[in-house]
A and B are shown apart, each in its own frame.
Chain A
Amino acid sequence: MIFEISVFLTLLFIGYISGTLIEKRHYKSIREREEELKTLPTTVLKKPLQEDGIKSCKLVNGSVVISIDYFKKFLAMLINFFGGNISSYETLLDRARREAILRLKEDAKDASEIINLRIETSSITKNTMNSVGAVEVLAFGTAIYR
Chain B
Amino acid sequence: MKYNASLPDDKVNIPKDNLLFLALKLLFSLAVLIAIFYVVLKFTLDTIVTHLPVSYEKKLTSLVSFDLNITDGRSSKYLDEITETLSKCASLPYEVKTFIISENTPNAFALPGGIMYITEGMLKKLKNQNELVAIMGHEMGHFKNRDHLKGFGNAMIVSVISLLLGEGYGGILNASLNISNAKFSQSAEFESDIFALDVMQCAYGNVTDATKLFARLDKGEDWRYFLASHPTFKDRIDRMNNHILEQNYNTTDEVIPLKKF
User: A residues engaging B (CB < 8 A)?
Assistant: 1-2, 4-5, 7-9, 16, 31, 34-35, 38-39, 41, 43, 49, 71-72, 74-75, 77-79, 81-82, 85, 87-88, 90-91, 94, 98, 113, 129
Contacts and interface: CB of A to CB of B under 8 A. Distances in A.
B227 interface: yes
A78 B15 contact: no
B23 A85 contact: no
Contacts of B6: 38
Given A8-B171, A35-B7, A72-B19, 16 more contacts: A1-B174, A4-B175, A5-B175, A8-B172, A16-B19, A31-B7, A38-B5, A41-B5, A74-B23, A77-B168, A77-B169, A81-B26, A82-B30, A85-B15, A87-B15, A98-B8
A43 B6 CA distance: 12
In the complex, the 9 A-B pairs of residues with the closest C-beta atoms, listed nearest first: A4-B171, A87-B15, A41-B3, A78-B26, A129-B168, A94-B13, A87-B17, A8-B171, A75-B23
A34 B7 contact: yes
Contacts of B168: 74, 77, 129
B29 A82 contact: yes
A79 B172 contact: no
A41 B14 CA distance: 23
B20 interface: yes
Nearest to A40: B5
B171 A82 contact: no
Please classify the interface of chain B as helix (H, G, I), strand (E, B), loop, or mixed, using the class held by over half of its residues. Answer: helix
Given A4-B175, A49-B3, A91-B14, A75 B227 contact: no
Nearest to A95: B14
Interface in B121-177: 165-172, 174-175
Interface string B165-203: 111111110110010000000000000000000000000
A7 B19 contact: no
Interface string B9-50: 000011101011011001101100000000000000000000
A28 to B, nearest CB: 12
Contacts of A79: 22, 26
A82 B166 CA distance: 14
